[in-house]
Amino acid sequence: MDLSSYTAFLFDLDGCLRYGLEPAPGATLLLQRLRSRGKSIMVLTNTSAKGAEGLSEELRGIGLEVPPAEIQTTFDAAGEYLRYRFGPTTVLCIGTPALHERLRREGHQVLPLARCREAKAVVVGRDQEFNIDRMVAAAKAIDEGAAFIALNRDVRLPIEGGDYTAAAGPMVAAIGTLAYKEPEVLGKPSPAFFELALRRLGVAPQEAVMIGDNVETDIKGGKAAGLFTILITESNVKPTADHSQADLVVYNLAALLTYFGHGSRR
């Protein structure tokens, strides 16, 4: 197996390029090697905490050089998607203060919980302060016909030391259960999220590789979009995941370094 023939490399962020606030083993070296060979790079993340600018800065802080133009987040995509669907609109946001602010910057009016029934859309990301009041307000907005938009349905967020915390998925599930409604999902595994990345890079699916630690999002989504898929197992985001879904399975990015042939090394 030689990966040198692919022109674009799409990386998942958490549990792949970094584990919490530590770079993943081999991440720095692999990015350097890909760049020296002229490969295109895009970090494709379902994160609802920060946008491309903030993540680029955060990554630089741990020694990973990834410019904002090479980072695609659901955090940034949410407001743009709402504008495309509704124009500037009224939103109930279940997420971080930063996500509220990001939606406002896109021209939307972010409503307080008490005015939930006026919302045209409910946007749900990972909310550190998620509680029953927020869950109920979101369900009531959806009852009134608001679009139910989830940034992602990721279940576990891998952090340092092999540990995890809750991602947005459990919160999306709680709201969906209460509202008797399934959400639209903006991030991986939605094919549109992969297609957007390929368009930005100007490459065809068969020229690109998706590398990630989540079978449900990175691997199944990447495969459905026509990409070669590589599963990282070290972060163990789902202990019972079916590894056979991936085209290639490696322990971490350091192990992936051996899959690049000797040709055109610079």
Ranges within 58-117 binding Mg ion (CB under 5 A): none
Q: How far apart are the C-alpha atoms of 156 and 163, rounded to whole Å? A: 10
Q: Find the helix packing angle between 169-179 and 132-143, rounded to 10°.
A: 50
Quick check: 14 binds Mg ion (CB under 5 A)?
A: yes
Q: How far apart are the C-alpha atoms of 15 and 157, rounded to whole Å? A: 8
- The helix (H) or strand (E) run that includes residue 122 is strand 121-124
User: Does residue 175 contact residue 122 with C-beta atoms inside 8 Å?
Assistant: yes
Ranges within 24-53 binding Mg ion (CB under 5 A): none
Q: How far apart are the C-alpha atoms of 34 and 38, rounded to whole Å? A: 6
Nearer to Mg ion, 12 or 216 (CB): 12
Which one among 70, 127, 213, 234 touches Mg ion, defined by CB under 5 A? Answer: 213
- Shortest gap between Cβ of 180 and Mg ion (angstroms)? 29
**CA 243 to centroid of chain Cα atoms:** 20
- Shortest gap between Cβ of 181 and Mg ion (angstroms)? 26
**CA 44 to centroid of chain Cα atoms:** 5
Quick check: 216 binds Mg ion (CB under 5 A)?
A: no
Return the residue nearest Mg ion (CB atom).
15
Quick check: 234 binds Mg ion (CB under 5 A)?
A: no
Nearer to Mg ion, 74 or 214 (CB): 214
- Shortest gap between Cβ of 131 and Mg ion (angstroms)? 26
Looking at 1-9, 15-23, 107-115, 219-227, which segment touches Mg ion (CB under 5 A)? Answer: 15-23
Residues forming contacts to Mg ion in the complex (CB under 5 A) are 12, 14-15, 213-214
